[in-house]
Amino acid sequence: MMVLQRRTYPQVDPGAAELMHRSLAVCPAGASVRDALGLLRRRGLRLLVAHERNVAGVILPADLKRARALGLGSRRAEDVARWGSPVVSVRASEVTVRRALLAGAPAVLVREGRRIVGAVEPARGELGRPALSLLPRLERELPGATLARLRRIGATAEAMSARAYAVGGFVRDLRLGRQAAELDIAVEGDGLALARHLAEEWGGNLLVHRTFGTATLEGGSGPRVDIATARRERYRTPGCLPDVTPASIEEDLARRDFSVNAMAVALAPQRFGDLLDPLRGAADLARRRLRILHPLSFVEDPTRILRAARYQSRLGLTLDPASLRGLRLAIEVAPYPALSGQRLAAELELILAEPEGPRSLTTLGRWGGFRILDAAHRFSSRTARRVAELGRLLDWLRRHAIAYDALPLGLLALLASTPQDVAQRGLKRLALAGEPLARLTAALRDGPALAERLAREREAPPSGRAALMRERPLESLAGAWLVGDAPARGQVEWFLAEGRTVHALLGGDDLLALGAARGPRMRELLDRLRDCRLDGLARTREEELALVRQWIGPAERRLRCQSNTSS
């Protein structure tokens, strides 16, 4: 019997030297975007390398072209570098290189000695394969009705020769073990046709935004469903709304704001639950990292700066260093004439609607983000304290069931310590006008004076203190609370919780029966009764009746009787 000999075969590792290309050059210091594009074109290069201290970065042609299209051709090419690119030796193994690419590196730079001699870039398409199936998690964590709805969306899309994917916040929150309030669906195909079909099947209200190929289906028996045709976006100028065209799901994910929102779950019956994660959002979630997808992401859409602060607070993520560079660039590029004030105000409202809203505002302030409202805005230590106190004020209002609009109160905290002209420009930048602008302007102007007077007259009778606040809107009272000391705040809280709710027990008919005249005299008597109740001089209906009899003399009663007789 022949015995087979076991042999060991050598494993061939091509290593970094065999994987790399040499189509690169060092970007000249201070070269502009236009200069860098010219260098790439003349020499037929695939990328440029930038250095800053001990950090290396790659400058990709796509990022330079994007900068030029946005009108930033005169900016330094280093502004669009993807910093922190890994650098390995020419003797590094293929495994080392592949691991760096799988971690999301746009390229791995290869050095020989101290000189960069090559780069390894990810192969097109290799990052688009499904990383794993989320089907077990979908079946374990989603309500049965939601899971059935997702399956139905996938099957219906396939029947219409389209492919549907759950995307964005839904996938992100699923990975974090959080329940999403709505379903976000992207469709390779006609998303609006799918939305109309589902609306006919499920009922509910369908709102269509044809320009962007999106639709929202609400009502029926399930959660809200946002459906969009998968698309690519092109920004003509910084801050403008993008031009959109239909695209693949990979292109749709690549145009999103952050990697953690650039994941998709396939809903087609044969692939149901497969995760598409071409931009490594799951790895960023595991690292608790918030990362933009390219260096000009914040320049294209500066509202992403506000969204980043909100995600940091709500999801416990931290903006990575490269993204912070992109944020600082976006602030330098401001102002953004094409960015509407309504869009900025809407993002601020979303921030303030969340329990951690004041913390998000503080994060924005430390980033310098409010310079988008006005270049002269400075987030001082006093502003930081008032924003922190804003959280206490909002909590107090909620506990006492006092209705409020969070945006004006948030703006008061942000602008109360700024010069008046800066505050006014900031309010107008948010497209505030008419009564909302007038109320905030008055609150910013009168808040400090009201706070000082309330503190000074804290020993005055309750009716006198209430008179100082009664005709003022909530914004003015909140302004006084934010800038005032403890006594002033106590007076505002007393008035909102108690003082403003006190009214006379007697009504107009009671006063008429006692001989009071109609008109202004009636209002005067009711106000006097209310003040007596505030000051503890009238606690019962009988005590109020006695006071009115004292106030209404015989002459007034005779005049009342004569008026009744003549009529």
Mean pLDDT score of the chain, rounded to an integer? Answer: 91
Domains 15-123 and 124-287 alike in fold: no
- Average pLDDT of the segment spanning 73-77: 97
- Average pLDDT of the segment spanning 56-69: 96
Q: Name the β-bridge partners of 182.
A: 224
In this predicted model, which residue has the larger pLDDT, 518 or 260? 260
Least confident stretch, 131-135, 339-343, 411-415: 131-135
pLDDT at residue 560, rounded to an integer: 54
Domain boundaries, the chain: 15-123, 124-287, 508-566
pLDDT at residue 128, rounded to an integer: 46
Cα–Cα dist 321/303, whole Å: 19
Instruction: Judge whether residue 126 has pLDDT over 70.
Output: no
Q: Please count the helices (runs of H) and the strands (runs of E) in the chain.
A: 26, 18
pLDDT tens-digit readout, 183-237 = 999 999 999 999 999 999 998 899 998 888 899 998 777 789 999 999 999 999 9
Identity of residue 86: P
DSSP state at residue 279: T
Report the share of the chain in percent with pLDDT over 90: 81
* Cβ pair 83, 322 in contact under 8 A: yes
Q: Considering just the CA atoms, what is the radius of gyration of the chain in Å?
A: 32
- Average pLDDT of the segment spanning 456-484: 94
Instruction: Judge whether residue 562 has pLDDT over 60.
Output: no
pLDDT tens-digit readout, 421-451 = 999 999 999 999 999 999 999 999 999 999 9
DSSP class per residue in 9-64: PPPP--HHHHH-B--EEEPPTT-BHHHHHHHHHHHT-SEEEEEETTEEEEE-HHHH
Residues 6+ positions from 170 with CB-CB distance below 8 Å: 180, 182, 183, 184, 265
**Given 3.90.1150.10, 3.30.460.10, 1.20.1560.10, 3.40.980.10, which CATH number is that of 124-287?**
3.30.460.10
Instruction: Judge whether residue 5 has pLDDT over 70.
Output: no
| Most confident among 290-294, 509-513, 515-519, 552-556 (mean pLDDT) | 290-294
Structural domain 15-123, CATH architecture: Roll (3.10)
In this predicted model, which residue has the larger pLDDT, 557 or 39? 39
Q: What is the pTM of this model?
A: 0.90
